[in-house]
Amino acid sequence: MQLVPRSFRPHALPASLLGGLVLALSACQPTPPAPATAAGDAAATPAEAAPAPADAMIEGRATYRERMLLPPGSRLSVQLLDNQLADTPRAVLAEVEVEDARSSPIPFRLPYDATELRPNGLYGLHASVRGPDGRLLFVTDTRHAVDPASDAPIELLMKRVAGRAAPDTPGEVPQAGLTLQCGDLRVDAQLRPGDGKAMLALSGRQLVLASADDGNRYEDDLGNALDTRDGAYALSLAGQPAVACTPVETPSPWGAAARRGIAFRAAGNEPGWHVEVGTGDAPRLKAELDYGTRTVEVERAAAQGLGYAGTATDGSVVRLEVERTACQDDMSGESFEASARLHVNGETFRGCGSFPAP
C-alpha cells in the first residue's frame, strides 16, 4: 500500500509562546561591536587641513594733503586690482565704498575672496573720492602695490583732480574728455561739439567720427558710431550691434599714450610687459617688464623697418620687431593693428601693438 503524504498546514501559535520564541532567537544573535569613539575615529582617519578662509580683509586709510573738508555726501572707493589683468574688466577683484567721507585720512576695510589670488600674483590698490554730484575730486595717480596677505599698514595718497577750465585761447574748440567701458573694450573719447567731431582711442586705434542727429550721435562711413543721447552712451563698431558703455575713471594706457604723442606702443601677457616708443629720428624707447618690476630704457633708438634697436642705459641689448598684421590679445580679446616681439638680451616678449598718435 502506497502512502500519499498530506500537505502540512501549520496552526497559529499562541501569542505568549510566539513572544518567548522571538526573545530566545534574539538572544542567540551575536552582539554588534560598539561604535568607535571620537578619539578612535581621529586616530583611524588622518586629520584634514582646514581650508583657507575665502573672506579676507585689507585695512588701511586713504589720504590727501589738502587741508579741506569734503562736500557732504562724498564717497571713497577703493579697488583691489590684479596687475596681471591690467586694463581689462577682470582686473578688479574687489571693491568697497565708504559713504559720507568728510576729511583726510579716510579709513577703509576692503573684504576680498582669498581663493581668487594666485601664487606669486602681483596686486595693487586704487582709490578715488567723488562728490555728491558724482564729480571726481581725488584719485591715486599710481597703482599702490600691495601684498594682500601682509598685515603692514596701508596708506593711499590721493591727488586732487583739477577742474576743467574753459578755453581762453581764441578759436580753441571746447571738448569733453571721458573714458568709457563698452563691454570688454575701454574707449577714450574726446567729444568736440564745437566742431562736430568725436575722437575715439580704442585698442590703440584712432577713430574720428562726425556729429549727426543734432549732436546726439557721432558716426563715420565705416559703420562706427557713438550714441550720446540723454547722457547714455552706446558704441557700434563696423556696423555691429551697439554695446552699452559706462563712464569709468581710469583711462586706457592706449589713450594716454596717444595724448602724450607716443608713436608706437605694444603690450603682452605672462609675464605682463609693455613698451612705448616716442617720435623723431632717434626716439626714446622705454619698456616695463615682468609686471613692471623691471625697466629697460634706450635713450636714442635706431629705426629698423617698423621696429627699433639700441643699447639700454643698463647695457642691455634691445630690439623691437613690429609687423603690421592683425593681432588679438590672448587675455582681453582686444584686436590690434600690429604684432610685436621685444628682445632684451636674448629674452623674447610677444604681444600686440599699435601706432596710437594720429
Helix (H, G, I), strand (E, B) or coil at 316: coil
DSSP assignment letter at 182 = E
Burial of 178 (0-12, 13-18, 19+ CB in 10 A): middle
pLDDT tens per residue, range 126-154: 888 988 877 778 888 767 888 888 888 89
- Name the average pLDDT for the chain: 77
Q: Which helix (H) or strand (E) holds 57?
A: strand 55-63
What whole-number percentage of the chain has pLDDT above 70?
Answer: 74
CA dist 148 to 76, 86, 140, 258, Å? 20, 17, 18, 33
Of the given ranges (78-87, 116-125, 160-169, 241-250), which has the lowest mean pLDDT? 160-169
302-333 residue pLDDT tens: 999 889 999 999 999 999 999 999 898 877 67
User: Using one digit for the tens of pLDDT, what is the confidence trace for 67-80?
Assistant: 888 988 999 999 88
Residue 170 has a pLDDT of 38
Between β-strands 55-63 and 155-157, what pairing exists: parallel, antiparallel or unpaired?
A: parallel
Give the per-residue pLDDT at 122. Answer: 84
Residue with cell 613690429: 322
State the Cα–Cα distance between residues 272 and 267, nearest whole angstrom. Answer: 7
**Is the predicted pLDDT of residue 10 greater than 70, yes or no?**
no
Q: Across residues 177-201, what is the average pLDDT? A: 79
pLDDT band at 215 (very low <50, low <70, confident <90, very high): low
- The sign of the CA dihedral 296, 299, 300, 305 is positive
Q: Which of 73-77, 108-112, 334-338 has the lowest mean pLDDT?
A: 334-338
Q: pLDDT grade, residue 338 (50/70/90)?
A: very high
Quick one: pLDDT band at residue 119, thresholds 50, 70, 90?
Answer: confident
Whose grid coordinates read 618690476? 293
Query: What predicted TM-score, i.e. pTM, was given to this entire model?
Result: 0.51
Q: What is the structure's pLDDT at 159?
A: 86
